[in-house]
Copies of this chain bind each other. A is one copy, B any other.
Amino acid sequence: MSTIEDVAKLAGLSRTTVSRVINNHPYVSATKKKLVHEAMEQLGYVPNSSARSLRIQKTETVAVFIPRVMNPFFSQLIETLEMAAAARNYQLIVCQTQYSAKKELNYLNLLKTKQVDGVILASHENDWELIEPYLQYGPIVLCNEFDNKANVPMIYQDQVYGGYIATMHLIEQGNSLIGYCTGGHYSSVGTAREKGVKQALKEAGLCFEEKFAFRNVYNIEHGRQVFHWIKGMNERPTAIFTGSDEVAAGIISEAKKYRWNIPVDLAVIGFDNQAITEIVEPNITTVHQPVTEMAEKAMEVMYEKINSKDYKTKEIYQFPLKLIVRGSTVSNNLEKCSSIPKSIS
């Protein structure tokens, strides 16, 4: 990268003269101005002051923090956010925190160093007290998260209800031993869903069995592992809430290798309504999240915040969740096809 010294050298002038030209100082001859501008162009030199002025007010860049791009829920969210940003002549950059509180704080410095105008947190790993100070540098909006302590806009879904309707559906299909999976990271999403699962069980007079709870599972491989844990149990759940279409796909795929009949031997419910739910056989019952609508609202609110410069306002936007019933939980011939015992005693 060229420096002001390179420009001075090429123009055959002093650093001071170059600096004067850049800063539009009076009393510089037209000839010298021309020499400096020609040298700058030839070297492609962008003065730091210009680079800065290009974004002194706005970078027209918004960052979204997500835990993992490999989770299709988040990649779909990014896709829509990017389009919503582009519609407002904004750029979106994506920061992957890998569920790390330290990485999250590092990325938040993008606000402090004015590399971005605002940050959308699609998950957050730190306690709000540690995030809040960054609000002095620019707006932060929660999308797909709810934090009661946060004094910023929150665009989220009622995940308690999501956990509730999914579990209630399994109960209505006659299941009383219900397994549970969760990503298990610091996030309001997992906590809220667990609350909903427990509420449904309680209303049906059933217990949340900690021995049937599988934590820190969030991809296809983990799903395969969950199947083997269940298979190895003396008393097994007859249905499982996975919290993730990927985990559900992994469980079903592995179960079929061992000739388990899904949903007769094990009913499996996913979450997100990703494309994979209609690829796996049987198709996966799941909970649809209105990702597109949520992303659009988040970017709309972010744009408004950047322009109003009023960052500390608690605003709540809640979006609905919807159960989608498919073959992985409902069978037409429940009794006939069962091939393995519900429990080994």
Contact = CB atoms under 8 A, between A and B. Distances in A.
Contact of A115 (B44, B59, B95, B96): B59
Contacts of A281: 256, 281
B253 A138 contact: no
A322 interface: no
Contact of A113 (B51, B70, B92): B51
B1 A138 contact: yes
Contact of A75 (B75, B114, B278, B280): B75
Given A69-B94, A107-B91, A276-B279, A112 B79 contact: no
A69 B59 contact: no
A279 B70 contact: no
Interface in A87-128: 91-96, 98, 103, 106-107, 110, 112-115
Contacts of A280: 279
Interface in A275-299: 275-276, 278-281
A16 B242 CA distance: 61
A1 B305 CA distance: 11
A94 B91 contact: no
Contacts of A72: 70, 72
B275 A112 contact: no
B279 A249 contact: yes
Given A52-B48, A113-B54, A82 B96 contact: yes
A55 interface: yes
Interface in A114-147: 114-115, 133, 136-138
B70 A96 contact: no
B98 A82 contact: yes
Nearest to A82: B96
A151 interface: no
Contacts of A82: 96, 98
Contact of A278 (B55, B138, B253): B253
A307 interface: no
Nearest to A61: B115
Contacts of A1: 136-138, 309
Contact of A133 (B44, B61, B69, B110): B44
A75 B86 contact: no
A246 B82 CA distance: 22
A262 B102 CA distance: 48
Interface of A: 1-2, 43-44, 46, 48, 51-52, 54-56, 59, 61, 63, 68-70, 72, 75-76, 78-79, 82-83, 86, 91-96, 98, 103, 106-107, 110, 112-115, 133, 136-138, 219-221, 246, 249-250, 253, 256, 275-276, 278-281, 309
Given A44-B133, A94-B95, 14 more contacts: A44-B137, A48-B114, A51-B113, A54-B112, A55-B113, A59-B113, A61-B110, A63-B93, A72-B72, A82-B96, A93-B93, A219-B275, A221-B275, A279-B280
12 contacts: A1-B137, A2-B136, A44-B137, A46-B137, A48-B56, A82-B96, A92-B95, A93-B93, A94-B96, A219-B275, A221-B275, A253-B278
